[in-house]
Amino acid sequence: MSAMVETHNQTQYFTFYLAGEEYAIAVLKVKEIIEYSEITRVPRTPQFIRGVINLRGSVVPVVDLAVKFGLPESLVTKWTCIVIVEVDLEGEQTVMGIMADSVNQVIDLLPEDIEMPPSFGTRVHIDYLSGMGKAGKKFVLILDIDRVLSTNELQAAASLQASQPEELSQVDNEGSSDSAAEGFSPQDDFVMRDEEVSLL
């Protein structure tokens, strides 16, 4: 699967906020966005794995990118959501969730709108960035989500999904299955499709 949607050399990116910074992910890496619900903590997992949720019967690990980037743990607010992404694990697609303080929009970027990531001045390791996109008068940091969620993270997540002990597979359905089935759509601002995310 291509990592991006291209139309007339434009690429679509989904943007969200984390710790006051705006980040972007290639749209085709994003499967859906769900409202934040209770996450079940799992003992003896890396600190950046916040826990797991039940997404329509499947156990999905949720990563706190703030912790991954060396920042304080994300605080949960009424705007917090979970972005469900699909990443590559040694040739196999693995579904994971990442916490976002809030979602923003989908933007179209031309090749000339994307600059090389800076070697200084960001809180994110340069290896995690594929570039900086010009969005109007500001820049957004474009994440290479496959690098951000490296092999170690994915293997830890895959082991959680593979084991799926009974207490995890029955994660609080009241807070997870209903919201996950509906998807995140505050006033239907976002329409999630198999190949794109579009604003109404």
pLDDT, tens digit, 9 for 90 and up, residues 36-79:
988 998 888 888 899 999 998 889 999 999 998 888 999 999 99
Instruction: Tell me if 127 is assigned to some domain.
Output: yes
Write down the H helix ranges in 117-150: 145-148
Domain of 171, CATH number, reads 2.40.50.180
- Pull the structure tokens for residue 54: 């039940």
pLDDT, tens digit, 9 for 90 and up, residues 125-157:
777 887 888 877 788 898 988 888 875 655 666
Instruction: Tell me if 168 is assigned to some domain.
Output: yes
* Domain count for the chain: 1
Domain interval for residue 193? 6-199
CA distances from 45 to 62, 79, 167 (A): 11, 26, 16
Instruction: Tell me if 1 is assigned to some domain.
Output: no
More confident position, 122 or 82: 82
- Pull the structure tokens for residue 163: 């084991």
Cβ count near 149 (within 10 Å) = 26
Between CA 19 and CA 142 the distance in angstroms is 15
The predicted model gives 4-25 an average pLDDT of 81
| Residues written for the chain | 200
